[in-house]
Amino acid sequence: MAFRFREFNVYKDAKKFVSNIYKISKRFPKEECFGLTSQIRSAAISIVLNVAEGSDRGSDKEFNRFINIAIGSVNEVVAALDIALDNEYLKADTYNVLLSQAEKIVKQLSNFSKKLKKP
């Protein structure tokens, strides 16, 4: 069985993003283990999982719904990064790199969504 989502650049980029989120969130304070750390990881994973799950839906309309959920998850990660930066859990340069990756993923997802909406 072929898994077509593995061919999508956005899937590959989102997987790298998840790895980077895991790396930086390991440095968050231990008291955030069940708070911000868990939340940011869950949101990042959701990006990848929604692209994968949506890719095997029966219609482009349904797939697009999952793409939009993935965009929402990127937004959630960015909000968590904002909180992490405000609380000095990460440095500004690390924040900027992750923010740039998030922007790239949202752009890819938005373009994907546009293609799915075309007749």
CATH of the domain at 86: 1.20.1440.60
- Contact present, 51 and 10 (Cβ < 8 Å): yes
pLDDT of residue 116: 86
pLDDT band at 118 (very low <50, low <70, confident <90, very high): confident
Q: How far apart are CA 17 and CA 10, in angstroms?
A: 10
pLDDT band at 1 (very low <50, low <70, confident <90, very high): low
Q: How far apart are CA 93 and CA 28, in angstroms?
A: 16
Domain of 110 in residue numbering reads as 4-117
Torsion sign over Cα 86, 100, 26, 47: positive
pLDDT digits (tens, 9 = 90+) for 10-47: 999 999 999 999 999 999 999 998 999 999 999 999 99
The model's pTM: 0.94
Q: How far apart are CA 103 and CA 105, in angstroms?
A: 5
- CA distance readout (Å), 20 to 4, 15, 30, 38, 65: 24, 9, 18, 14, 26
Q: Please, which residues have CB within 8 angstroms of residue 27's CB and are 6 or more apart in sequence?
A: 89, 90
Torsion sign over Cα 93, 22, 48, 38: negative
